[in-house]
Amino acid sequence: MDDVKTADRRFRKLTLPIRVLTALIVVLLVGIALLITGRTEHILIERFNEYHLTIVRLAAREIEHSFGNAARLIDVLAGTLPPPGLDPRGARARLQRGVQALASEGAADLAQLDSSGRTVASASGETDALDALWAKASEACRPVPADPALRCAVPIVEPHDPRLPGRVMVVSASAGGLGPAGRLLLVLDWERIGSLLTAVTTINRHSVGWLLDADGKLLWSVAHPEMVGRSAVRADRSCKQCHAEFALETRMLQGGSGVGDVRVGNAPRRLVAWAAVSVLGHRWSLAGSAPYDDVVASGRRNRAAVFVAKGFLVAVIVVLAILLDLQNRRRIRELRQSEVAVQRANQALAEEVRDRTGELQGVYAEMHEVRARFTALERLAIVGELASVVAHEIRTPLNSLAISSQRVARLLRADPGGDPTKAREIVEAQLNEIRRIDRFIEDYLRLVRMPKASRRPEDLNALVADVLRFIEVEQQRRPIRFLRELDPDLPDAEIDADKIRQVLLNLLVNAIQAMPDGGEITVSTRRIDGELELSVTDDGPGVRPEHQPKLFEPFFTTKEKGTGLGLAICARLVNEHGGTITCESAPGRGATFRVRLPLRAPAATALDSGREP
């Protein structure tokens, strides 16, 4: 029941935070949506301005290119025409071909003028209209400093003779043969300029474009053709009805290119891009504009989609929160319904556990008693085995002593004053048997009462050299040669030097006894995988395979007068150091005893703590 109450309290504590978290998520999502929307509109405006400015610049370059082509062609044509009035028919034919060549540039007519400015030949055959046009153009004619051959280039945007296009551009050039007294007059249709301006309006269906000259006069306007010829920077009453200021137009007349925005009267806000146009010495400014709302319309559509997506996500979160609430309530009801059954099951299980625990305690007590009995029997068996071996090893010499003592007694009874030599031999044999018993007891005590090892860093090579010097002195009369294979880079090891010296002496003595006719004994040292290896190799008869598993067991020996404790003592001394001792041998090929010792002393063992086996 406590678990159910705890779960209920937890649920109530979690309900309010979950609701608060849901509200925070909703607010956060709405804020993110607004932030993304504002950022999206800003990016859209930047990208559109870059694109729009590129389009306007391209249109400006196209206008410059078109007028440049026209100027170059009339310059070439001026050098091919005859002097004014000499060959009117030939001049007209050349002028007509010139108009055809400049048709793509918007050429409307091409005329040759005499020194008084009167038309003497034209491509169209018209003279009066062209005379009137030149009279008007010459008033505003400006020299073209970049090209001495071009005398002037001026737009005529006011209405004039109906026999010519409504608006024209006049280009005048010196005619060959007559020098400055004669000139060519090129009439360009202003509608051609308008077609180039149309490229600026291709951004969208609500885009418009216009062209200003250096004085701010409107040369062309897609949206307001009725304003052509009027100043865009000096407002009259009609302009002030729409324009509150002309800051943007003033910036355009300063040259260069740029972007901005403008609002004219109550009209919607528009984005503007402009670029400078250099036409035959004239500095014009070409501009295009598009409604702000059209540019950001896609962003607003995306914003609506974002809001819909966010709303859907919020709805999903709210539904999930409600489902989580319902699921938790259902789980609590299930816990309440199952609590009684769980309590009953727990009670039954507790009773079963108590019963089983009692049974296990009884079984454990019986097992502990059996183990104690088994351990006692095992110890008795070991003690019996040791007693049997000790009794055998001591009984044999004692029997020999008893028999020899009886012989001495018989000799003394038979011949009390006889020769003592025989008795002396018997006594010497008795002393040998006594020494054998003493040696056996000493080895046995060394095995079972081995003192604790005193380890410190020692030079194993120096220890080997010291033992070999002693052995070589003791074995001078035997034909045995001792070989050394010592690693000069061998590090010091933490060992008990006396105990390892005893191991090496025992192994060397066994090797010497295995070669009564002489031979070679090799002692080597080396480092292997963080351990030191000491090995003794002889070329004696070797160890038979069936004897090798028992070599290091106490009382096992193959010698006639051996105790069987030497190798057992060696094994125990090596084990006390945390090392190992092994034998590698084959019959007739000698034997190798390998002792491996750790460089550092191992953790304390039962032997290190002074406990007896």
Q: Could you tell me which of 554, 555, 556, 513 has the C-alpha nearest to residue 536?
A: 513
The answer, yes or no, to whether residue 165 has pLDDT greater than 60, is no
Q: Which residue reads 């070439």 in tokens?
A: 76
Q: Once rounded to an integer, what is the mean pLDDT over residues 2-12?
A: 57
The answer on pLDDT for 418 being more than 90 is no
Q: Beta strand 208-212 with 179-189: parallel, antiparallel or unpaired?
A: unpaired
The most confident of the ranges 233-242, 359-368, 553-562 is 359-368
The residue with greater pLDDT, 490 or 265, is 490
Give the mean pLDDT of 590-597.
Answer: 93
Token digits of residue 429: 């044999």
Sequence ranges of the domains in the chain: 80-194, 451-598
Q: In this structure, are residues 109 and 99 in contact, taking their beta carbons and an 8 Å threshold?
A: yes
Spatial strand order of the sheet with 580-585 comes to 480-485, 519-528, 531-538, 591-598, 580-585
Sign of CA dihedral 305, 307, 311, 316: positive
Q: Closest by alpha carbon to 193, among 87, 279, 95, 300?
A: 279
Where does the pLDDT of residue 341 fall: very low under 50, low under 70, confident under 90, or very high at 90 and above?
confident
More confident residue, 292 or 430: 292
Give the pLDDT confidence of 122-149 residue by residue, as tens digits. Answer: 888 888 888 887 777 777 666 555 555 5
Average pLDDT, the chain: 74
pTM of the model: 0.43
Distance separating alpha carbons of residues 466 and 438, to the nearest angstrom? 28
Q: Is it the case that residue 166 has pLDDT exceeding 60?
A: no
Both structure tokens of 526: 């080396």
Residue 517 is given by DSSP the state T
The contacts of residue 102 (CB under 8 Å, 6+ apart) are 69, 70, 73, 110, 186
Q: Which residue has the higher pLDDT, 367 or 259?
A: 259
For residue 206, give Cα distances in angstroms to 57, 58, 241. 19, 20, 22
Three-class secondary structure of residue 168 per DSSP: strand
Q: What is the CATH number of domain 80-194?
A: 3.30.450
CA gap 144, 173 in Å, rounded? 10
Question: Exposure of 479 by Cβ count < 10 A (0-12 exposed, 13-18 middle, 19+ buried)?
Answer: exposed
pLDDT band of residue 532 (cuts 50, 70, 90) is: very high
Please report where in the chains the tokens 């400049």 appear, as a residue.
102
Q: List Cβ neighbours of 604 (8 Å cut-off, separation of 6 or more).
A: none
Sign of CA dihedral 491, 497, 503, 508: positive
CB atoms within 10 A of CB 193: 23
Calculate the dihedral angle through the C-alpha atoms of 27, 30, 32, 34, rounding to the nearest 10 degrees: -140
- Give the CA distances from residue 265 to residues 244, 245, 300, in Å, rounded to whole numbers and listed in that order: 7, 10, 25
H helices present in 79-115, as ranges: 88-101
- The one-letter code for the residue type at 284 is W
Please, are residues 232 and 217 in contact by the beta-carbon 8 Å criterion? yes
Q: Report which DSSP code applies to 158.
A: S
Question: What whole-number distance in Å separates Cα of residue 150 and Cα of residue 184?
Answer: 9
30-60 pLDDT per residue, tens: 666 566 555 677 788 888 888 888 888 888 8
Stretch among 79-93, 149-163, 218-232, 397-411 having the lowest mean pLDDT: 149-163
User: How do the residues of the chain divide into helix, strand and coil, expressed in percent and rounded to 5?
Assistant: 55, 20, 25
Average pLDDT over residues 424-453: 62
Higher pLDDT, 248 or 490: 490
Dist CA 124 CA 121 (whole Å): 9
- Asked if residue 291 lies in contact with residue 268, where contact means CB atoms within 8 angstroms, the answer is yes
Return the pLDDT at 241.
46
Rg (CA), the chain: 63
Q: pLDDT tens across 377-404, in order?
A: 544 554 455 555 555 556 556 666 666 6
Q: Which residue has the higher pLDDT, 290 or 179?
A: 290
Condensed to tens digits (0 to 9), the pLDDT of residues 239-285 reads 544 444 567 777 887 778 888 887 766 677 888 888 998 877 778 88
CB burial readout 4-20, b (16+ within 10 A) else e: beeeeeeeeeeeeebee
Domain 451-598 has CATH 3.40.640.10: no
Per residue in 77-105, is it b (16+ CB within 10 Å) or e — as a string? bbeebbbbeeeeeebbebbbebbebbeeb
Neighbours of 408 (CB within 10 A): 15
- Cβ contact 113:134 at 8 Å: yes
The pLDDT score that the predictor gives to residue 373 is 66
If pLDDT is split at 50, 70 and 90, which confidence band does 600 have? confident
User: Higher-confidence residue: 384 or 612?
Assistant: 384
Packed helices 421-448 and 292-414: angle between N→C axes, nearest 10 degrees:
160
Looking at residue 142, its pLDDT comes to 61
The size of the chain, in residues, is 613
